[in-house]
A and B are shown apart, each in its own frame.
Chain A
Amino acid sequence: MTWATREIAGWGRVLRAEAALARPERQRTARALAESAPVPALGRRRSYGDACLADRAMLTERLDRVLAFDPETGTLEAESGVMLGDLAARLAPQGWLPPVMPGTGFATVGGAIAMDVHGKNHHHAGAFAAHVDRLTLATPGGPVEVTSDDPLFALTAGGLGQTGPILKATIRLARVRGDVMMVTERRMAGLDTFCDALDASDAPYTVGWIDATATGPALGRGILEEGEVAKGLVPPARRGRTVPLDAPGFALSAPVVRTFNAAYLRRVPARGRTVVRPIADYFFPLDKIHDWNRLYGKRGFHQFQCVVPMDARGALRAMLERIGKAGLASPLAVLKRLGPGAGHPMSFPVEGYTLAVDLPASDGADRLLGVLNAATVEAGGRVYLAKDSSLTAQQAHAMYPGRAAWAEAINARDPERAYETALVRRLRLREPS
């Protein structure tokens, strides 16, 4: 049978939908489906909000094969449901890695293109789509090959699946010399130090863990992690495993999180330290704990992620103050530098500082999200739609100035709006204005 009815949820589990799902196992069946019943494609549903929800959709998880790999040039063609973590695990021993890796290895090639995902190397490497040479889109009229210079490519990169299912893609991998990560960790005393250090860092991979419960002079304190791939001279050390969730008796009440965060910070000695970690532990620290999103209980959680321009440190500070005062944040908060954007209309990364904070669902969280969303618009920044569950259409439209032109081009291709997802509807992303 083609369709099965299932309840699906975004990773944050706040937003859910009952959906009729098809799950083609082969290119042929995927093409046939796209021709007879055009529906949006969904990957592994690692988007937090409703970006990966729809009432009818095609799951790509069984389109999971590597179709070609040239170990000399590092070009790889994969079906769209291949997970980046699987690729990393197989490629690292051969001296290659996916060029861009988000914080979860469960993200698929299709999801990485449709969200134009960024990694800890955005300041050097840009986002995922910049490394895609070509892709194949399923359309009602048959498969279409799209090369990176095609205008259709810019509509597809970060395009939230609105140009139709990506069936396969050819990507250029990154050359690496080794199979472990050498990570230098340094304590950051406060926001300005943190931002300066992020600006100055020229490590290949850089990310900051930020204590979103800190207030006053400690506001913005955290740990800067600078990583590079190295040869495994040292066996991957257990003690290098630094998942905050390994905390015993993990609970998300404000005092616990505050205490935990302080301890987490002190774990790194004042002079800093360098540790060796397995590649997967470094890039996908939470993946070891399968379904960790369930730790937030039935109501689920939100993730707020914005990017604000370089000159908007003040806005960032104000946001952190609100978050710290509200006392709602979980230990999972991240501060990163993003390099220049790729110019694709709906692609999230643009130059600036990006802040991501998890908030267990509650009425207070809804109010806080409202404040943070408004502050982001005010600062000339934008919210990442892969994480969003709370923007208004008006806010989203203000954040993505290329949206209206994008919508027009998309609607011309898909006048029936067959590819709309729940997010696209909620934020009226395909409305003329």
Chain B
Amino acid sequence: MSAPESTPESAPERAAESATGSAPETWLVLGASSAMARALARALANEGAALILAGRDDDDLAALAADCRFRGAASAEPLRWDARDPATIAPLIARLERAEGKVSAAVFAGSMPPQAEIDADPALIDGVAADSFTGPAQVLSRVAPLIEARGAGTIVGVASVAGDRGRVGNYVYGAAKSAFATYLSGLRNRLNRAGGHVVTVKPGFVDTAMTWGLPGMFLVAPPEAVAASILKAARRRRNVIYTPFFWRYIMMIIRAVPEPIFKKLSI
């Protein structure tokens, strides 16, 4: 994907690159039908990456794959994956195993049903957890050995600022994102030993289908800006990024509000 930087961490990565020759880096994108994933896939295509675009909307993934090939991807193929169906994991991993160069993965899957619907039907919690945490984590835990074996590779996990503190408006979604962020932190700890790297991405409001028309949105970032900051973070081996960056400070303040006060707020 990029020239390795001269950090001590990148030494094994460089070794791995020379061992695997000039094969393009292969990226598995989970939840590739999201607008943010589209933007990242295009940016990667532009750099000549090989793309495996995984998700449920076959028709949309085929369109994205064609577009990525047009934009210079070494290859781009759609592959079916449903976070709620563990049987769809094996083909993804089999496909990644066949890839020659470095393998990396980015997770965009997640779902945020209105909190009121969840309150009325708590069985929905399982689905939110599966889409935003357990489903993607099961895939990543199978990608991890490939990264360890090759001594290189990046995992990008899209969590959310919503996971930094539970709010009345979306606390189930927030809980799933928070769990995912914790998982990513542990995975980073694990892969770091083998030359791999994990970037946790916490977007604020992003202008996608998920937020279009929702009341109370402000400072909404274009998905292309988010994708650009993700790529930059992956290159620099950043650990946790907020995007746009100022959300780090907004969330610092929100986390600093004492619980006795926070519980009375409706933000």
Contacts and interface: CB of A to CB of B under 8 A. Distances in A.
A and B are partners in one complex rather than unrelated chains? yes
Interface of A: 1-5, 23, 25-29, 62, 65-69, 79, 90
Give the residue among B33, B60, B67, B208 with the most A Cβ atoms within 10 A: B67
B57 A66 contact: no
A130 B208 CA distance: 35
Interface of B: 33, 35, 38, 57, 59-60, 63-64, 66-67, 70-71, 208-209, 212-214
A90 B71 CA distance: 7
B71 to A, nearest CB: 7
Given A28-B57, A90-B70, A65 B63 contact: yes
Contacts of B209: 23, 25, 29
A1 B38 CA distance: 20
Contacts of B35: 25, 62
A427 B209 CA distance: 34
Contacts of A3: 213
A253 to B, nearest CB: 37
B59 A27 contact: yes
Contacts of B33: 25-26
A67 B63 contact: yes
B60 A28 contact: yes
Given A1-B212, A1-B214, A26 B66 contact: no
B64 A65 contact: yes
A307 B155 CA distance: 58
Contact of A26 (B57, B67, B70, B71): B57
B62 to A, nearest CB: 8
A27 B213 contact: no
B67 A23 contact: no
Contacts of A67: 63, 66-67
Given A25-B208, A28-B60, A67-B63, 9 more contacts: A26-B57, A26-B60, A27-B59, A28-B57, A28-B59, A65-B63, A79-B63, A90-B70, A90-B71
Nearest to B70: A66
Given A1-B214, A3-B213, A27 B71 contact: no
Contacts of A90: 70-71
Given A25-B35, A27-B59, A28-B60, A4 B212 contact: yes
Contacts of B57: 26, 28
A69 B68 CA distance: 11
Contacts of A62: 35
A268 B209 CA distance: 50
Given A26-B57, A26-B60, A28-B60, A65 B67 contact: yes
B212 A23 contact: yes
A65 B212 contact: no
Contacts of B67: 65-67
A119 to B, nearest CB: 22
Contacts of B208: 25
Contacts of B64: 65
A66 B66 contact: yes
A69 B60 contact: no
Nearest to A68: B66
B66 A4 contact: no
A362 to B, nearest CB: 35
Contacts of A1: 212-214
Contacts of A68: 66
B137 to A, nearest CB: 26
A65 B213 contact: no
A4 B71 CA distance: 31
B60 A27 contact: yes
22 contacts: A1-B212, A1-B213, A2-B212, A3-B213, A4-B212, A5-B213, A23-B212, A25-B35, A25-B38, A25-B208, A25-B209, A26-B60, A27-B59, A27-B60, A28-B57, A28-B59, A66-B67, A66-B71, A67-B63, A67-B66, A67-B67, A69-B70
A28 B209 CA distance: 13
A72 to B, nearest CB: 14
A3 B212 CA distance: 7
Greatest chain A CB density within 10 A among B59, B66, B70 is at B70
